[in-house]
């Protein structure tokens, strides 16, 4: 894995909001005395979400202080896991899945659109709205190709609906999460289980391969 470094420009300080501080104290209390450092990953994750989806040095050190651990130990965690962004990622951070199912369903075309519209990976767009990164499987293979934008999944993407999605996000308009072609969860495209109904009928008993009731 490539060396991960902190951003050159850093805020002077970081403090959790009252709501996030209360949440952090609840998480820390789950661990026995002397084991508070076990909460480092969830606290870093919450700090990142609060700070526009990237972790400044001050936030890493703040979490370390809350957990009674050396700054370098928290820094080791933050720099090791790629889920932590160490530099600004814009208002909307796009993680585009490039693993085999998404690649077969068109993620390369989506990558070309992001290169054209946003720019190179990990570089914030000129308007400060977007940054993107190609990542490994995000677990929504049935709805490929897909991307995670901040905390939400957007699935069944095409170059056209991806650009519309980014237009709407940039303009502050409401967007539809999940499938962008109207699928419910991971139902087949078109909404019918044709492979099964052809064999077993729509009722599961009347197709050419259905087992007669008396043989069941």
- What average pLDDT values come out for the chain (216 residues) when binned by 10 residues? 81 97 97 95 97 96 97 96 93 96 96 96 93 94 95 96 96 95 80 63 68 60
Are 136 and 101 a contacting pair, CB within 8 Å?
no
Residue 57: the pLDDT is 97
Sign of CA dihedral 181, 183, 188, 190: negative
Residue 191: what pLDDT? 60
Q: Which of 146, 134, 145, 74 is nearest to 106 (CA)?
A: 145
The pLDDT of residue 42: 97
pLDDT of residue 158: 97
Domains of the chain: 18-80 (1.10.10), 92-179 (3.40.30.10)
Q: Which residue has the tokens 């991307």?
A: 147
Give every CB contact of residue 183 below 8 A, 6+ residues apart in sequence.
143, 155, 156, 189, 191
Q: Are 9 and 87 in contact (CB under 8 A)?
A: no
Instruction: Look at residue 182 in the predicted model and tell me its pLDDT.
Output: 86
pTM of the model: 0.79
Instruction: Give me the pLDDT at residue 3, please.
Output: 73
How many degrees, rounded to 5, is the angle at CA 159 between CA 154 and CA 164? 65
């Amino acid at each position: 894995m490539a060396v991960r470094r902190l951003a050159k420009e850093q805020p002077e300080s970081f403090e959790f909001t009252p709501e996030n501080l209360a949440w952090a104290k609840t998480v820390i209390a789950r661990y026995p005395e002397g084991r508070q450092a076990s909460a480092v990953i969830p606290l870093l994750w919450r700090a990142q979400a609060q700070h526009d989806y990237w972790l400044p040095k001050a936030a890493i050190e703040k979490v370390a202080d809350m957990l009674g651990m050396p700054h370098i130990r928290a820094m080791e965690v933050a720099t090791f896991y790629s889920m932590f962004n160490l530099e600004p990622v814009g208002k909307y951070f796009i993680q585009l899945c490039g693993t085999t199912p998404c690649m077969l369903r068109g993620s390369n075309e989506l990558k070309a659109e992001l290169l054209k519209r946003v720019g190179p990976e990990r570089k914030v767009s000129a308007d400060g709205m977007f940054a993107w990164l190609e990542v490994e499987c995000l677990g929504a293979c049935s709805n490929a190709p897909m991307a995670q934008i901040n905390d939400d999944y957007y699935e069944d993407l095409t170059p056209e609906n991806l650009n519309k999605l980014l237009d709407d996000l940039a303009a502050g308009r409401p967007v539809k999460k999940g499938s962008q072609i109207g699928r419910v969860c991971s139902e087949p495209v078109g909404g019918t289980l044709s492979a099964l109904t052809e064999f077993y009928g729509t009722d599961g008993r009347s197709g050419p391969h259905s087992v007669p009731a008396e043989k069941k």
